[in-house]
Every structure is written in structure tokens, then in C-alpha cells.
Amino acid sequence: MKAIFLTKNKETCKKVYNDATVRELCALSELDKEVYDRTDVVAAPEKFADTEIIFSTWGMPIFTEEEIKTIFPSLKCIFYTAGTVQSFARPFINCGVKVFSAWAANAVPVAEMTVAQIILANKGYFLTNRIYHTDGRKAAAAAFAKCRGNYGETVGIIGAGMIGKLVIRMLKQYNLNVIVFDPFLPDEAADELGVEKRELKELFERAFVVSNHLANNEQTKGMLNYELFRLMRENAVFINTGRGAQVVEDDLVRVLGEREDLTALLDVTYPEPPVDDHPFYTLPNCMLTPHIAGSAGDEVSRMGEYMLDEYRAYLGNGRCRYEVSLKMLETMA
């Protein structure tokens, strides 16, 4: 099959598809190892008329259905070595092109970071670190005395998609009580995960750590607001490694100002980064990281390997695990 690399992030593409993965792809297909972008294919559509497979990553160009039919009339599949495909997938799927995403591979480092933060939060790490620096060891130790630790503590997971489920499974090695808000999670799936389904209000009231993994869509924007944040337990922690738009940030700022005992760990905001004078930068109980939870460094190669395996399954008429449908796009991040 004729295959190409297509993305505006050409250097990233070379990291995601490392030398070993490219060698395997060349053995399986007629792969052009040049990395093309939108300008390249629009300028010479005749060159890509026989392209059947696209391998891409962050920076996949957006095309209309008309453009797809004109430039890629032979296209069968896109293998996307990154997470969300929301920005580009629909026109391709509407044209009969299969879209596969390495969201499962990208979920791994996000879940790892989230679980690490949950375990540290339950130990009072973020609270006591902050107090130690401002009020000294004695005050930090007094705050720590109110923390229950990880044995039997309650953790709230908002959204049980790919990442949320992986976080839950990783937490199984700890003796934690996990409660979940996800209206799309069937009862039998919750039973299989060993979690309790709860409404948002109860989740914020009961959990010591609340972690957001909601899909990013119109229905979830602004879902997490003042009325929920104000219900959080003493010294509780809110983690967001999902998307920033679900949080009414003015409301979170208000609660963090009213309750210095709370901590917010924000890897994502809306917009990203926050505007220059945003209170997130100066609130002592807000910790910002620059969207580092996803795949980075050598971790990105895992996504290339996932899509290589998916391509092998496709060629062998095997079970492809990561195809994205229009229905899935309704609830996916």
C-alpha cells in the first residue's frame, strides 16, 4: 500500500516514528519517508492521488470533505500517533476513511502522572510542602496530622473514558475507595472496575482528591463550578490533567481564595497558558504545570509502536483496537 507521513510538525513526526518503527512500516508498505504538510499536498494533489495510508501525529492538517475527495481519492486509513482526533477526523470518516488513534498509548503517561499526584495528595505532600515554606515545620506537621493517607481514603474520578479507566486500574494496587461520575459508564462496567458511581455533588463532598478526566465537548464546558468546589473536604485536592474548559476558572479562583486549605494541581487551563495577570500564577494553593502529562521525550515512541501494531492488525484482517467512530467522537476527549 502507498503510504505517507502527513503533519505540520515534521520534527515531532521523526521522534514519534523512530527509526525502528519506520523500518517496520517500510517492510509492510510502500512508504514515502518524506514528511509532508498541508501546503505540500494542496500544491501537488496529483502526487498523492494513489495514497492509501496516512501516518500522522500532532499537527495533522484539517481538510474539507471536498478536499479529501480531490487530493486523496484512494485513501483508506489514517493512523494518528497522538491523542484526540476531534479537530480533523469527521470529514475523513464521512468520506469512508478509517481513523485510528494512539489515544491509549497517550493515556499511559497521563494516568501515571495523575496517579502519582493522587498518592502524594493523600499523603498531604502538596499541603505540607506549602505550609513548611511559609509557616515552618511545626505548622506543616500539624496540617499533616489531619491527613488520612492512602489507606482507605476516597478518590473521585470525573469521567471514565480511556484515561479515567486507566487511572482507576492503576489505583487498584492501593487500598483506596474510588468513586466515579460518568453518566455514560454502564453499571456493569462500573462493577468490573470495582467503583461506585456517584453524582458530581456527592463526589466533591466525599473525595479527598478529585481528578478531572471529562471529555472536551460542548456539554462538559463549565461543568465544574463554585457550587461544587466549595463542597470539597478540608485540605482536599483538585487535579486537572484533562481539559481546562470544563472548569469555571473564576469560580475555582474564588474558592481557592476563600479556602487556603484546598490545593489545585492544574496541568491544563483554558486558555492555555492563562493570561499574564491571571490569579493562578499568584495563588499559593494553585500549582501550574505546562501541559506535561501527555507523552513526552522517549514516551512518544510508544504511540508510534501502538499504531504500527494497529497497522499490522489492519493488514492481517485482525482485530483493530483503536478505530474512532463518529459515535465515539460525541464523548471522546
Nearest to 193 by CA among 203, 179, 206: 179
Q: Is 291 a catalytic residue?
A: yes
CB 65 within 8 A of CB 90: no
Q: Which of 198, 206, 213, 243 is catalytic?
A: 243
Amino acid letter, residue 279: P
Output 255-262 pairs: Cβ under 8 A, ≥24 positions apart: 255/226, 255/229, 255/230, 256/283, 256/285, 256/286, 257/283, 258/230, 259/230, 259/232, 260/284, 260/285, 261/127, 261/234, 261/235, 261/236, 261/285, 262/229, 262/232, 262/235, 262/236, 262/237, 262/238
Q: Is 243 a catalytic residue?
A: yes
Distance CA(275)–CA(264), nearest Å, equals 18
Q: Which of 192, 227, 272, 330 is catalytic?
A: 272
Q: Which of 291, 299, 312, 323 is catalytic?
A: 291
Distance CA(175)–CA(149), nearest Å, equals 10
Catalytic positions: 243, 272, 291
